[in-house]
Chains A and B, each alone.
Chain A
Amino acid sequence: MEALIALIIATLTGSGVYLALRARTFPVVLGLTLLSYAVNLFLFVMGRLTVGEPPVIDAAAAGYADPLPQALVLTAIVIGFAMTAFVIVLALKARSELGSDHVDGREEA
């Protein structure tokens, strides 16, 4: 399972970086979104991969899932969501004001 999750994070990060380096705002926004997915998954996994373990104290439990990364991920998701919304609106504003969706406002690059 570790290898699979690591591969998923790597794919998301790689695609995110590639898209973020594109010259049009839409791929850049998508790239940033993929990057934030990757980092959310990464944060989550940092609590170690466990299946069916309780996160809070339980007398019968054999082990525990770390609840803290889940709280961190929740915060990161909320912030990432707000940022994505903001950058989409900003990209639209740039498209209308610069007359082009190129990140430098150029017509052809």
Chain B
Amino acid sequence: MSHLPFAPVLLPLLAGILLLLLRHLDMRLRRLVSIAAVLGQIGLALWLTRAVAGGDILVYALGDWVAPFGIVLVADRLAAWMLLIVSLLALFALLQATRGIDAEGRHFHVLFQLQLFGLNGAFLTGDLFNLFVFFEVLLLASYGLILHGGGRLRTRAGLHYVVINLAGSTLFLFAVGTLYGMLGTLNMADLAVKVAAAPAENVGLVRAAGWLLFGVFALKAALLPLYLWLPAAYAHTSAPVAALFAIMTKVGAYAILRVYTLIFGAQAGPAADLITDALLPLALATLLVGMLGVVGATHLRQQVAYLVVASIGTLLTAFGLGSGAGIAAGLYYLPHTTFAAAALFLLADCIARQRGELADRLDPGPVMARHRRLGALFFLVAIAASGLPPLSGFVGKFLLLRAALEHALWGWVLAVVLVAGLLGVIALARSGSLLFYRAGTAPVREGAAASAPAPTWIALAPLSGLFLLGVGLTVFAGPLADHAQAIATQLLQPHEYVHAVLGAEARP
């Protein structure tokens, strides 16, 4: 048994503990340790991606307890893909944080590594209760991170975020308890087998538990109507944390994809395709409402937060199509939207620092220092985020629309995605012209002068890096789309997962 699938969970945990022990040492040393740990995770994610690229599914039985009795970690193509996205995003968020934000409160790097520990664990685990535990780990770390630095608005938004997630955790436990009570197992592969063979008198409760789980994952993913916690929380936390949190909603999307292809997928007998009919309309509604939020936002960071909501709508629209091509389009779109939203959060912070009291309010303000540089970056990142050609957002949406043509509701999907895209373009164009073209036209008020030094290229490097990742997604769109297709194909063959975990004799 290779220990490789366990390494991405162990590394951030050990790094977090080490950073806690080193807390009295020099900040530069702690930053180095933290960055080294993230670089290590990128290396591990790449290694894991290579190891599973051929279609193998690596199973790691913790403590060598055999599934379904022990907890297993399962690395398939999807898990490796998510790990790679998280570690790349984390690198740039961390680089931004080391420019001073990590010193605004205590234990930033410890919490950051524990956040990665929770994220990596959630992507790798093959056990539903273990998924709950990793959700709690990543949430507890995120509570610390979201409040990092303090401040009135941050505390209020943080309180809402914590309370709603605690309620979500309770719901998760109810769902897990019901599934265990009916089926006697929590191993996801074993659940897939048992749900398909559930006796008729238990089917109703099993389906109810499946819906409860969907509610929990929809809350984490910020799907309509459970997205209301997101805009305030993301708009008021510090920029690197908001950038890292661009992946948090995708954890919910990942969980939806995993659970409803594996456990409640097409093979699940009486509970087959449990949420399929509901997912697509909800996702389209989320996309539309999110984009209305983007249009109506009064602050740039609030606007980006609504873009995150809209991106979840697009992503789940792709997953909701249910076909291999749809899931593949979503999996290609996922890293694009994560990196683009993170870059926009970082850029919004750089812009806000140049505008003194006005901060990121969408009003004409003073001409910013280095406004050409900032304006050019805003233009490029906005093109990527709104899905205009030639960048990766366009490729992702094109794949999505092509996949949608085979679906019965293709007219709705096309209409909503295209209208939402247009709204996004209009809103971002308006923000750009308010911030850059009309700068200097309004009389500058007292105290509205720039409060921060002009942004150097080094200060803009993390967000430029995120943007270049998006360019990379565009340049290598062919091979990456093929890889996304391979992931989707593997996901739609859940018996491979079941066989890898339980052995070849288990019936899917």
What residues of chain A have their CB less than 8 Å away from a CB belonging to chain B?
Answer: 20, 25, 28, 32, 35-36, 38-40, 42-43, 45-48, 68-69, 72, 75-76, 79, 82-83, 86-87, 90-91, 93-94, 97-98, 103-105
Contacts and interface: CB of A to CB of B under 8 A. Distances in A.
B162 A105 contact: no
Interface in B136-180: 136, 140, 143, 147, 150-152, 155-156, 158-160, 162-163, 166-167, 169-170, 173-174, 176-178, 180
B133 interface: yes
A32 B177 contact: no
B389 interface: no
Contacts of A68: 180
B199 interface: no
A87 B165 CA distance: 11
A39 B181 CA distance: 13
Majority SS at the chain A contact face: helix
Majority SS at the chain B contact face: helix
Contacts of A86: 140, 143, 162
A38 to B, nearest CB: 8
Contact of B173 (A39, A47, A103): A39
A105 B181 contact: no
Nearest to B152: A97
6 contacts: A20-B163, A39-B173, A40-B173, A42-B173, A48-B181, A79-B169
Best-surrounded residue of A38, A48, A76, A103 (most CB of chain B within 10 A): A76
A79 B167 CA distance: 13
Contacts of A75: 129, 133
B156 A46 contact: no
Contact of B163 (A40, A43, A48, A87): A87
A83 B413 CA distance: 40
Contacts of B158: 90
A72 B129 contact: yes
B328 to A, nearest CB: 36
Interface residues of B, number: 27
A46 B181 contact: yes
Interface of B: 129, 133, 136, 140, 143, 147, 150-152, 155-156, 158-160, 162-163, 166-167, 169-170, 173-174, 176-178, 180-181
Contacts of B155: 90, 93-94, 97-98
B166 A46 contact: no
Given A39-B177, A42-B177, A75-B133, A25 B170 contact: no
B180 A79 contact: no
A87 B166 contact: yes
A47 B140 CA distance: 28
A91 B159 contact: yes
Contacts, number: 80
A32 B136 contact: no
Nearest to A83: B166
Contacts of B177: 39, 42-43, 46, 69, 72
Contacts of A87: 162-163, 166
Given A43-B173, A105-B152, A94 B140 contact: no
B226 to A, nearest CB: 15
A75 B172 CA distance: 14
B166 A39 contact: no
A50 to B, nearest CB: 14
A67 to B, nearest CB: 12
Contacts of B136: 79, 83
Given A42-B174, A91-B159, A97-B155, 14 more contacts: A20-B167, A32-B163, A35-B170, A36-B170, A38-B170, A43-B176, A46-B181, A68-B180, A72-B129, A82-B140, A83-B140, A86-B162, A97-B150, A103-B160
Contacts of B169: 79, 83
A90 B180 contact: no
Nearest to A25: B159
Contacts of B147: 90
B462 to A, nearest CB: 29
Contacts of B156: 94, 98, 104-105
Contacts of B129: 72, 75
A9 B181 CA distance: 15
B118 to A, nearest CB: 12
Contacts of B176: 43, 72
Contacts of A43: 173, 176-177, 180
Contact of A103 (B133, B140, B159): B159
Best-surrounded residue of B162, B163, B177 (most CB of chain A within 10 A): B177
A97 B151 CA distance: 8
B174 A39 contact: yes
Contacts of B174: 39, 42
